[in-house]
């Protein structure tokens, strides 16, 4: 059976959220699936960790860019042509858009499973996906995405980056797709200083290369004489995965790396500024800490208490049975 899954949200985090449901579809039909996603989902960076997806069709559609293949009415015609070539038997559409239902019908797909139409407003991203899967294949699927990393790649990263199991290896995911998501460097620095005063730590900082992100990275790097710090900003996301897998705990804002680290099995503290807590709590390995903005003049990204981060961090490593106190 040839199965298409349509996930039209942008961003790698949204794609990771849907992985348990895509995997459930694949297992139910005993068939790998084809995934239709936007190019900016960056799915290619994690595709090797999803062996139940055999092919990817990239949706070239963006209201901010002209002349993309799938934009507008003519873009819908092009997408129909593209999908027809694959002769899909069924499609699972993870949204409420009638556009994709019409496209699927004209693509010759007989069996179409989708969210209720015109119900996008106030739609819970987890509940909607779980309801679709239960309605169609009668399975209750937990919100627990997993990315699998080859053991050899993990060991190679451990060797190449001289990662020692005798110390606490901590991921700091400090980037973000928007300036309001990026947490003030002062909060990370305060937390990291608390860590090194009590534990033997090494920090791996995952961040992008935007102007605001470079500012955060520079401010943290100013403490390089104190921190055992390894920067990952020049690596592709896929190259960071085996490195992150060697870490024990992650502290991230709402960024790609909070989703990635939790899916790789790390207990992940997620710092929430002005985004929904749902994006920092849907995985059982996520531990959200909310901004405590006290007045309208204070930025949410500067109002997270480092003491709360450190307290949650110690709670986590105690459960993980770490005893790597500094001598």
pLDDT tens-digit series, residues 94-151: 999 999 999 999 999 999 999 999 877 778 999 999 999 999 999 999 999 999 999 9
Assess whether 167 and 312 both reside in one domain: yes
Domains in the chain: how many in total?
2
Average pLDDT over residues 181-203: 93
| Confidence category of residue 49, pLDDT binned at 50, 70, 90 | very high
Residues 221-276 have pLDDT tens digits of: 998 889 999 999 999 999 999 999 999 999 999 889 999 999 999 999 999 987 88
* 164 within a domain of the structure (yes/no): yes
Supply the range of the domain harboring residue 123.
3-137
Q: What is the pLDDT of residue 137?
A: 96
Assess whether 70 and 124 both reside in one domain: yes
Assess whether 218 and 125 both reside in one domain: no
Q: Compare 252 and 321 and report the one with higher pLDDT.
A: 252
Assess whether 50 and 125 both reside in one domain: yes
H or E element, residue 25: helix 12-29
Residues ≥6 apart with Cβ < 8 Å to 197: 326
* 326 within a domain of the structure (yes/no): no
* 83 within a domain of the structure (yes/no): yes
Q: Range with the lowest mean pLDDT among 53-67, 214-228, 258-272, 285-299? A: 285-299
Residue at a domain's end among 137, 162, 190: 137
Nearest CA among 279, 186, 179 for reference residue 290: 279
* 327 within a domain of the structure (yes/no): no
Q: What is the pLDDT of residue 293?
A: 67
Q: What is the pLDDT of residue 120?
A: 77
Q: How far apart are CA 5 and CA 21, in angstroms?
A: 10
* 142 within a domain of the structure (yes/no): no
Q: What is the pLDDT of residue 63?
A: 67
Question: 88-116 in b/e burial notation, b at 16+ Cβ within 10 A?
Answer: bebbbbbbbbeebbebbeebebeebbbbe
Assess whether 157 and 36 both reside in one domain: no
Assess whether 231 and 303 both reside in one domain: yes
Assess whether 50 and 189 both reside in one domain: no
H or E element, residue 13: helix 12-29
| Confidence category of residue 303, pLDDT binned at 50, 70, 90 | confident
Q: What is the pLDDT of residue 327?
A: 45
pTM: 0.92
Assess whether 132 and 170 both reside in one domain: no
Assess whether 126 and 217 both reside in one domain: no
Assess whether 98 and 126 both reside in one domain: yes
Average pLDDT over residues 90-95: 97
Between the alpha carbon of residue 149 and those of residues 77, 160, 282, the distances in Å are 38, 16, 21
Q: How far apart are CA 51 and CA 25, in angstroms?
A: 13
Assess whether 183 and 70 both reside in one domain: no
Residue at a domain's end among 105, 137, 169: 137
Between the alpha carbon of residue 267 and those of residues 14, 51, 247, 305, 324, the distances in Å are 19, 24, 10, 19, 17
Q: What is the CATH number of the domain that holds 277?
A: 3.40.50.2000
Assess whether 199 and 130 both reside in one domain: no
């Amino acid at each position: 059976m040839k199965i298409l899954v349509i996930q039209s949200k942008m961003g790698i985090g949204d794609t990771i959220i849907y992985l348990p449901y895509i995997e459930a579809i694949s297992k139910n039909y005993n068939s790998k699936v084809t995934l239709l996603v936007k190019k900016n989902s960056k799915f290619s960076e994690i595709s090797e960790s999803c062996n139940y997806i055999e092919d990817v069709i990239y949706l070239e559609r963006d209201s901010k860019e002209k002349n993309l293949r799938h934009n507008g009415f003519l873009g819908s015609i092009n997408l129909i042509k593209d999908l027809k070539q694959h002769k899909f038997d069924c499609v699972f559409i993870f949204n409420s858009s009638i556009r994709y239902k019409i496209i699927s019908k004209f693509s010759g797909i007989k069996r179409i499973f989708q969210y209720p139409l015109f119900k996008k407003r106030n739609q819970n991203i987890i509940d909607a996906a779980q309801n679709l899967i239960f309605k169609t294949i009668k399975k209750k699927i937990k919100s627990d995405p997993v990315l699998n990393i080859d053991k050899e790649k993990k060991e190679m990263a451990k060797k190449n980056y001289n990662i020692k199991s005798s110390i606490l290896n901590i991921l700091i995911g400090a980037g973000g797709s928007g300036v309001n998501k990026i947490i003030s460097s002062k909060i990370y620095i305060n937390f990291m200083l608390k860590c090194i005063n009590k534990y033997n730590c090494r920090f791996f900082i995952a961040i992008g290369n935007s102007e605001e992100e470079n500012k955060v990275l520079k401010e943290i790097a100013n403490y390089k004489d104190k921190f055992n710090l390894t920067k990952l900003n020049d690596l592709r996301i896929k190259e960071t995965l085996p490195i992150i897998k060697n870490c024990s705990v992650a502290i991230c804002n709402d960024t790609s790396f909070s989703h990635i680290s939790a899916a790789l099995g790390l207990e992940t503290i997620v710092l929430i500024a002005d985004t929904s807590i749902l994006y920092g709590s849907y995985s059982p390995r996520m531990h959200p800490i909310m901004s405590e903005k006290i007045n309208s003049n204070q930025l949410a990204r500067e109002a997270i208490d480092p003491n709360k981060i450190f307290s949650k961090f110690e709670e986590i490593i105690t459960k993980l049975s770490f005893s790597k106190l500094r001598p």
